[in-house]
Amino acid sequence: MYRAGHSKWSTRGWTYQEAVFSRRCVIFTDDQVFFQCGCMTYAEEIIQDFANCEGVLSPIFERISYEDSDIGIYLPRSWKFMTNLEAYSKRELTYDSDALRAMEGIFSFYAQLVPSVEQYWGLPLRWVGCQLSNLEEKNVYYVAKSKHNDVVGAVLWAMLWEPAWSGVNISKTGFARRDGFPTWSWSGWKVGVRWNFLENVKYLEKSFTAPLFVETTAGGLVEVKDALARSLNSGKSYATLGLTHMLRITTVAFDLPFIERTPFRPTTSWAKSHSFPTRCKSQHWVNKEDHPGEGKWTHFVVQKNIETSERGLVWSLDLTRGGAATSSDLALDTDNNANPMTLRCIVISYDYGMIVQCSSGISKRVGLLRFEGEFFENGRISTDEYGHRDDSVVWPWTDSVQSKDLRDHFPGIERTVRLG
């Protein structure tokens, strides 16, 4: 099973559609044969009597079903959209320009479902195409279905993708970009991605929205709404439709001071060897001057001191690029190098903002920032990774802090941002 699932064929982008659309697959490896169809997977080495064999292995490749199952047991096919994106994003392409072309069959399949799931530069434009909950919350699907025309809410939530850090070997140079693709989409980065589940159903019922437009090749604007989504079903390319990957969004923006500091340590005893934030997300490698190649990791964070510099609130920066960052990778204005230790965060959901960097009037994604902060004191962070804690028990002074939301501690201003 391992050899079949990790063969060269299994790592190539253009072969992904072959695997998920095939009703039956016969896979030949160096030592045995595997068979997979819609209801079972068999390995040659474990079959003694095929007619009486009851053992079924886990699927080697995720398939796309040709019909919806009972909604009382399984979620509909549309909710596999992001699962397909996550799996495909981990595959390799020879040419960056094929990042979306190699998924056109899958995109067409989802666009023809009822209700449909259209996409723009790889992000779903419908809530029913978003990975919102686990299988035990089927009522969420019906809420998503009722909000079919909330195209802005769906695509903004879909922008909350992040690199699939687990099992990824991140070099100091970080993940590479794909030229010609937007930074706000996973398709603009050479990295496997993931989406977390929607944390609160009320965020779906009253989804976050903001004026959002697509810039056209003629210099005009097209509003992101149901009509735009339906026009993408024509099969015509973005260029033929006169659409670009440039978005124009009007939302609250925060220009935030950030600092570089040594990693925090959790207050929990079981994880004292771990740092916060995690090393891969917002780090800087500092070389030792007298020992080239040796050094230490530091972190970039937004920090709000309370009464003293040794305690307060801290917000982690989840940098999309990974690898070793410098302050110039975060500074909001790369043209003038003004305020080199200030970053810009634009609000795109109720609990997250997108960190952007501006150059020549175009803002590009740098990372994400969660608005709920964490308390710290003397280099320790108040967290146990499970969310079961009372901060006031750890540090009584936290009782006087009314909110951990970043927006309650820093001023924001509404801006129109060109997002590319």
Structure-block tokens of residue 221: 């604007």
Residue with tokens 């003694």: 48
Residue 102 CA neighbour count, 13 Å, CB half: 25
- Interatomic CA distance for residues 48 and 319, integer angstroms: 51
User: From start to end of 131-185, where are the E strands?
Assistant: 162-163
Going from N- to C-terminal start, the domains of the chain cover: 1-63, 70-241, 253-419
Structure-block tokens of residue 321: 């690029």
If you count DSSP H runs as helices and E runs as strands, how many of each does the chain have, helices first?
11, 21
Start-to-end CA span in the chain (Å): 41
Beta bridge partners of 261: 299
Taking alpha carbons only, the member of 155, 140, 158, 160 closest to residue 226 is 155
User: What long-range pairs does 300-304 form, CB within 8 A, spacing at least 24?
Assistant: 300/258, 300/259, 300/260, 300/325, 300/327, 300/330, 301/258, 301/259, 301/261, 301/277, 302/256, 302/257, 302/258, 302/259, 302/343, 302/369, 302/406, 303/258, 303/259, 303/261, 303/376, 304/373, 304/409, 304/410
- What one-character DSSP code corresponds to residue 130? S
Structure-block tokens of residue 98: 């094929």
- Interatomic CA distance for residues 417 and 232, integer angstroms: 24
Amino acid at 246: M
- Interatomic CA distance for residues 357 and 345, integer angstroms: 9
Residues 6 or more apart from 302 whose CB is under 8 A from it? 256, 257, 258, 259, 314, 315, 317, 343, 369, 406
Residue 337 CA neighbour count, 13 Å, CB half: 2
- What one-character DSSP code corresponds to residue 324? B
> Are the C-beta atoms of 224 and 213 separated by less than 8 Å?
yes
Show the DSSP H helices in 76-176 as ranges. 81-89, 104-111, 139-146, 151-158
pLDDT (tens, 9 = 90+) of the chain, 420 residues, equals 445 556 777 778 888 887 777 767 777 777 777 776 766 666 766 654 444 444 444 444 555 554 554 444 445 778 889 989 999 999 999 999 999 999 999 999 999 998 999 999 999 999 999 888 754 466 788 888 999 999 999 999 999 999 887 655 666 667 889 999 999 999 999 999 999 877 677 788 889 999 999 999 999 999 999 999 999 988 889 999 999 999 999 999 999 999 988 877 766 544 444 444 444 455 555 554 554 555 566 788 999 999 999 999 999 888 888 777 778 888 887 777 667 789 999 999 999 999 999 999 999 999 999 999 999 999 888 765 544 466 777 789 999 999 999 999 999 999 999 999
Structure-block tokens of residue 116: 């449909």
Q: Residue 62: which region, alpha, beta or left (left: phi > 0; alpha: psi -120 to 50)?
A: beta
Structure-block tokens of residue 61: 């490749």
